Amino acid sequence: MIIAVEGMDGVGKTEIARYISNKYGFTFIEKPLHYFYNDGAEQNYADLMKVANRMYDINDDVLKSWYIALGNIYVAKMFSDENIVIDRHLVSNYYWNGSNISEPVFRALIETSGTPELTILLYATPKTRMQRLARRNKKDPDLFDLEKKDDGYDKMIGFIQKFKLPHIVIDTENKTLDEVKEIVDYEMQKLRGCTKKLTK
């Protein structure tokens, strides 16, 4: 089973993905593309960054979409016998690289690899997200990246609806982390009711 946690920077994706991993025994996957280079390690990925920068310098949505998707395809195959929770998946890839030109890439990905059993889309306004990032680290480079201050929601939910991804949307704007976790727990229990794959 694959669960994807999606949303813009600062919305709480990693916290929720780790929560699902710890509570329900899922393998946590962050930055899937890194697994091509160093089995997901957080250091010594200079080669990855060189290639990624080359992709973005070309500025071709089709090429970028495929490149990012390779990580998701790879970890899905690599962990095919496990329950995994992924911090960013199809929806985030589409937000950053999706367009009319690259849409066939996403159709092909879904036809060949399927979709997550559940996509959890977390939402908060840009102002709230920036405040959260600043509380975490006042020198976070995302605070100075104008693209990260986009709302992002309409394009993400549009993709989810167009491709009929099983999903929930959690507006975290005025919720505590514990309140968000309660909603996640409710959805996990519903999944548990229809599958025997959950380990805990």
Q: For residue range 78-121, what is the model confidence (pLDDT) as tens digits?
A: 888 999 999 999 999 999 999 999 999 999 999 888 899 999 99
Confidence of residue 39 (pLDDT cuts 50, 70, 90): low
Tell me the C-alpha distance between 127 and 156, whole Å. Answer: 18
Residue 167's φ and ψ, nearest 5 degrees, are: -155, 165
For residue 72, is pLDDT > 90?
no
- The arithmetic mean of pLDDT across residues 175-187, rounded, is 96
Tell me the C-alpha distance between 68 and 26, whole Å. Answer: 22
Q: Which CATH superfamily is domain 2-194 in?
A: P-loop containing nucleotide triphosphate hydrolases (3.40.50.300)
The token duo for 195 is 């599958």
- The arithmetic mean of pLDDT across residues 124-133, rounded, is 90
pLDDT at 146: 66
Confidence of residue 193 (pLDDT cuts 50, 70, 90): low
All structural domains of the chain with their residue ranges: 2-194
pLDDT at 136: 80
Q: What is the mean pLDDT of the chain?
A: 86
Residue length of the chain: 200
Where is pLDDT greater, at 164 or 192? Answer: 164
pLDDT at 42: 55
Instruction: Sort strands 27-30 and 167-171 into parallel, antiparallel or unpaired.
Output: unpaired
Comparing CA positions, the residue from 123, 154, 136, 120 lying closest to residue 17 is 120
Instruction: Give pTM, 2 decimals.
Output: 0.87
